[in-house]
């Protein structure tokens, strides 16, 4: 197997795993009370991890730009939808 590409995959996997373990610290330290910072961090970190998976593991970084834009559009739409719903919901019902 191409050593350089294999190393890149391994670095990506290690980085994703390290971020996941970071979420353990985030989740264990945050008390079970509404917390906008924890929620925003959780969503943004998850979206960053998803983008790394899409770009690196799914090889979208080498794909036609249209596919990269489509996946980024979904990520942005998801982020806006989740964080927008959370903050608007807290203003309305919180």
Partner 1 sequence: MTTVAGAGPRETGTGRQPATGTIPHERPVPGQPDMWIFVLFEAFVFTSYFTVYVIRRTQNADLFLQSQGQLDLRVGIFNTLVLLVSSWCIARCVQAARDGEFAAALNNIYLTMLFGLVFLVSKVLEWTAKIEHGFSFTSDEFFSFYYFLTAIHFLHLLIGFVFLGVAVHQIRTPARRSQELIETCATYWHTIDFLWVLIFALLYVMR
Q: Where are the alpha helices (DSSP H) in 1-94?
A: 3-29, 36-52, 65-93
Smallest separation (angstroms) from partner 1 to the CB of 61: 10
Smallest separation (angstroms) from partner 1 to the CB of 79: 10
Residues that bind partner 1 (CB under 8 A): 1-2, 4-6, 8-10, 12-13, 16-17, 20-21, 23-24, 26-28, 30-35, 38-39, 42-43, 45-47, 49-50, 53-54, 56-60, 62-65, 67, 70-71, 74, 77-78, 81-82, 85-86, 88-90, 92-94
CA-based nearest residue to 76, from 55, 56, 47: 47
Measured torsion, CA atoms of residues 10, 13, 17, 19, in degrees rounded to the nearest 10: 110
Q: Is the dihedral of CA 25, 31, 32, 36 positive or negative?
A: negative
């Amino acid at each position: 197997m191409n050593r350089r590409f294999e190393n890149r995959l391994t670095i990506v996997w290690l980085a994703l795993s390290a971020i996941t373990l970071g979420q353990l610290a985030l989740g264990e330290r945050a008390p079970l009370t509404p917390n906008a910072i924890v929620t925003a961090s959780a969503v943004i970190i998850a979206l960053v991890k998803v983008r790394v998976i899409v770009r690196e593991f799914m090889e979208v970084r080498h794909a036609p730009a249209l596919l990269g834009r489509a996946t980024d559009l979904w990520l942005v739409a998801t982020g806006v939808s989740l964080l927008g719903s959370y903050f608007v919901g807290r203003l309305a019902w919180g």
